[in-house]
Amino acid sequence: MPMLDTEALKASLPFARRFARALTGDQARGDAVVAACLRHGLPDLPGHLALHAAIAREVPEDPSSAVEPLSAIQRRLMLLTALEELSLEDTALVLGLSEAEATAELAAARENLKRAATTDVLIIEDEPLIAMDLRILVQQCGHRVVGLAASEDAALQLAEQHRPGLILADINLGRGGDGMNAVRRILRISHVPVIFITAYPQKLLTAEGLEPAFVINKPFDRLSVSIATYQAVSAGKVPIA
């Protein structure tokens, strides 16, 4: 293994785990990928990029499908730039592309996202303005919002009633309870992909108990919501690892 900045590597670990989970669509599979990368050795890149690069190489690239709007490289580009918030220069390094190649593929990926599959979405958020913003963003991504829940009980009721194909959940619901607990209750009755929304994603990636495969940083934007919803839905339907 090359000499790495171990402090930078440690600092990047929670976010690299998030990338692996988003790429594979599963907590256990994502963590297994990270463990394999650490065993096999990391590429000679700066510490904050080395693990991301190893993960991108560890997960096999499936052949593109005629019904699949994003190629494997486009998925990686979108996840690294939109969710991991890496610069285009750093993303190109991680994926072994030139900046020109990365720019062209990223532009194609953003255009292809318009053809992504749609689903019914339940939003769990106690702040009315944030819930409204999320509703607009989700609808702009082509999805249907089947309910807004401000509490655990309301979330469970709506999930039972509508059986959504995707859930977007805040962590702190104020007096309405806990978003993680709401999701635990829903997952007992339905297997559905979940995206958590938080200003502190590293607090959700502690290797203790239930952890999300998909996390959006607050404040969020349309692109991050778009790629997260696409990846969450498609990872459960299209094998990508």
Of 72, 98, 114, the residue that ends a domain is: 114
Domain for residue 33, yes or no?
yes
CATH number for the domain including 153?
3.40.50.2300
- 71 pLDDT band (50/70/90 cuts)? confident
Global confidence as pTM = 0.74
Peptide bond into 212 cis (omega under 30): no
Neighbours of 229 (CB within 10 A): 28
CATH number for the domain including 91?
1.20.140.160
Q: Which of 55-59, 69-73, 129-133 is predicted with the least confidence, judged by mean pLDDT?
A: 69-73
Q: Burial, 119: exposed, middle or buried (Cβ in 10 Å; 0-12, 13-18, 19+)?
A: buried
| Domain extent for 106 | 6-114
Domain for residue 16, yes or no?
yes
Average of pLDDT values for 218-230?
83
Of 54, 87, 114, the residue that ends a domain is: 114
Q: Is the per-residue pLDDT at 163 higher than 90?
A: yes
pLDDT at 48: 83
Whether residues 95 and 136 fall in one domain: no
- 237 pLDDT band (50/70/90 cuts)? very low
Phi-psi region of 142 (alpha: psi -120 to 50; beta: other; left: phi over 0): left
